[in-house]
C-alpha cells in the first residue's frame, strides 16, 4: 500500500517541477560545491539522523577516493567542498584531506556535531580549523536544552555550548573569515519557522544566557527518511506530514535547489544528487556517471536529478537545503 502511494508521488514531484514538456529536474551547467560524506561513524546517535550514524558504524572513505575527489574538484572548478559524515573529524585522513583542499585555494565547509571536540584525541582540531580557515556548520536544533537533548541525546546541549565557547575564543562566529553557522530543524512533523526571525531569537537567547555568538542560522526542514520516517510511521503521522509538505509546494524554490548546484559523494565513491538521495542509496541516474572511479565530470552538468517523494521537503514553504532556507 505504501509502495503504490510512493510511486504515484514520484511522478507527481517530477511533473510538479517540470517546465514545458520536460518531465524532470535538471542540474545547472556549473556546479559550485562537492558535498563529501567521509564516513558514517559518529560519537552521537541522534533521533533525526538521516544517515543512521552511530559509534557502531565502520564505513569510512579512504585516501585514494579523496585523491579522486581532489581531481574532480579541479575538473569542475568548484568553489567549495562540503565535508560531512557521521562525525567527519573521526576519519583518520580528515586533516590531510582538509589541508589538501585548502592548498588548492578551495573553500572547505565542515559539518561538525560540536561534541566530538570534547572527546579525547580531538583537543587540537579547533586550532586546526582556524589555521586552515575552514567554514563551520553545526547543528543546534533549539536554543533550549530540553529540545536539543530530546533529539540528540542527554547532555548534548551543554556540551555543544561549551564547544561554541571554545570556537568563539579562537574567532569563530566573531571574525568574518571564520564563520560559524548553526542549524535548526523542527522537533517534529512541521515546517521550520521564518529563518530570519528565528536567527534573531537564537542570537538574543544564546548571547544573554551564555555570552556566545555565531554567524548565521540555517533552518532545515526534516526530510521524511531514515529514523525520522520510522518514527513518523510508528506514530501514524507519515501521511499527514507528506500532505503538509506537498500542500506547501513553492515553485520559487526549484531554481536554487541544492541538487542543481552540487553533487554528493559517499564514503565508497558512489555519486548522488544530494545527501538525502545518498541516505536512500538512490545514486545519480539517467546519463550521469554514478561512481568516482568511472567518471565523466561533464556528465554531472545538466544531469537529470533522481527524485522521490522526500523531495517535497526541499520545496515546501521557504524551501530547504544544507545551507538553510532557499527563498
Minimum CB–partner distance for residue 105 and ligand SF4 (Å): 27
Please select the residue that binds ligand SF4; options are 305, 316, 325, 326, rule is CB under 6 A.
305
- Beta-strand pair 80-84/33-37: parallel
Site for ligand SF4 contains 220 (CB under 6 A): no
Site for ligand SF4 contains 36 (CB under 6 A): no
Site for ligand SF4 contains 202 (CB under 6 A): no
Q: Which three cell numbers stand for residue 173?
A: 562566529
Whether the link from the prior residue into 86 is cis, omega within 30° of 0, is yes
Q: In 3-state terms, what secondary structure has residue 60?
A: strand
Cβ-based neighbours of 317, under 8 Å, separated by 6 or more? 191, 192, 221, 248, 250
CB 225 within 8 A of CB 270: no
Q: In what order do the strands lie in the sheet with 217-219?
A: 217-219, 180-184, 135-139, 107-112, 80-84, 33-37, 262-265, 271-272
Q: Which is nearer to ligand SF4, 135 or 277 (CB)?
A: 277
What span, in angstroms and rounded, lies between the C-alpha atoms of 302 and 304?
Answer: 7
Cβ-based neighbours of 284, under 8 Å, separated by 6 or more? 263, 271, 272, 273, 290, 300, 303, 306
Using the contact rule CB under 6 A, the part of the chain among 124-132, 164-172, 244-252, 309-317 near ligand SF4 is 309-317
Q: Which is nearer to ligand SF4, 100 or 320 (CB)?
A: 320
Q: Which is nearer to ligand SF4, 37 or 135 (CB)?
A: 37
Q: Which helix or strand (DSSP H or E) is residue 87 part of? A: none
Q: Which is nearer to ligand SF4, 136 or 259 (CB)?
A: 259
Please select the residue that binds ligand SF4; options are 85, 141, 179, 317, rule is CB under 6 A.
85
Site for ligand SF4 contains 46 (CB under 6 A): yes
Please select the residue that binds ligand SF4; options are 12, 32, 45, 147, rule is CB under 6 A.
45
CB 272 within 8 A of CB 283: yes
**Interface pattern 105-134 for ligand SF4 (x via CB under 6 A):** --------x---------------------
Q: Which of 130, 125, 133 shows the shortest CA–CA distance to 101? A: 133
Using the contact rule CB under 6 A, the part of the chain among 26-34, 117-125, 130-138, 306-314 near ligand SF4 is 306-314
What span, in angstroms and rounded, lies between the C-alpha atoms of 241 and 245?
Answer: 6
Q: Which of residues 247-276 bind ligand SF4 (CB under 6 A)?
A: 257-259, 273-274, 276
Using the contact rule CB under 6 A, the part of the chain among 41-49, 73-81, 191-199, 288-296 near ligand SF4 is 41-49
What span, in angstroms and rounded, lies between the C-alpha atoms of 88 and 110?
Answer: 8
Please select the residue that binds ligand SF4; options are 33, 221, 277, 284, rule is CB under 6 A.
277
Binding site for ligand SF4 (CB under 6 A): 42, 44-46, 49, 53, 85-87, 113, 257-259, 273-274, 276-277, 305, 307, 310-311, 314
Amino acid at each position: 500500500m505504501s509502495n503504490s502511494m510512493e510511486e504515484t508521488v514520484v511522478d507527481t514531484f517530477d511533473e510538479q517541477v517540470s517546465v514545458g514538456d520536460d518531465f524532470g529536474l535538471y542540474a545547472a551547467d556549473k556546479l559550485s560545491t562537492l558535498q563529501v560524506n567521509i564516513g558514517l561513524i559518529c560519537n552521537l546517535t541522534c533521533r533525526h539522523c538521516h544517515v543512521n550514524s552511530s559509534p557502531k558504524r565502520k564505513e569510512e572513505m579512504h585516501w585514494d577516493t579523496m585523491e579522486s575527489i581532489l581531481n574532480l574538484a579541479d575538473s569542475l572548478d568548484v568553489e567549495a567542498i562540503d565535508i560531512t559524515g557521521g562525525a567527519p573529524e573521526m576519519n583518520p585522513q580528515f586533516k590531510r584531506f582538509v589541508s589538501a583542499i585548502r592548498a588548492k585555494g578551495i573553500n572547505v565547509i565542515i559539518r561538525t556535531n560540536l561534541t566530538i571536540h570534547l572527546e579525547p584525541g580531538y583537543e587540537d582540531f579547533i586550532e586546526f580549523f582556524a589555521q586552515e580557515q575552514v567554514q563551520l556548520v553545526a547543528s543546534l536544533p533549539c536554543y533550549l536544552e530540553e529540545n536539543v537533548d530530546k533529539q540528540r541525546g542527554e547532555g548534548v546541549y551543554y556540551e555543544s555550548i561549551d564547544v561554541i565557547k571554545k570556537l568563539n575564543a579562537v574567532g569563530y562566529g566573531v571574525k568574518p573569515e571564520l564563520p560559524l553557522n548553526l542549524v535548526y530543524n523542527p522537533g517534529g512533523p512541521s515546517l521550520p519557522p521564518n529563518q530570519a526571525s528565528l536567527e534573531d531569537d537564537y542570537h538574543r537567547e544564546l548571547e544573554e544566557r551564555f555570552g556566545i555568538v555565531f554567524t548565521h542560522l540555517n533552518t532545515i526542514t526534516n526530510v521524511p527518511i531514515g529514523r525520522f520516517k520510522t518514527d513518523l510511521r510508528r506514530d501514524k503521522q507519515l501521511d499527514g506530514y507528506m500532505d503538509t509538505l506537498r500542500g506547501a509546494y513553492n515553485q520559487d524554490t526549484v531554481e536554487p535547489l541544492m541538487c542543481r548546484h552540487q553533487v554528493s559523494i559517499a564514503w565508497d565513491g558512489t555519486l548522488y544528487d544530494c545527501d538525502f538521495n545518498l541516505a536512500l542509496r538512490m545514486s545519480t541516474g539517467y546519463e550521469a556517471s554514478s561512481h568516482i572511479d568511472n567518471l565523466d565530470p561533464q556528465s554531472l552538468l545538466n544531469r537529470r536529478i533522481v527524485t522521490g517523494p522526500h523531495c517535497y521537503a526541499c520545496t515546501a514553504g521557504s524551501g530547504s537545503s544544507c545551507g538553510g532556507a532557499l527563498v
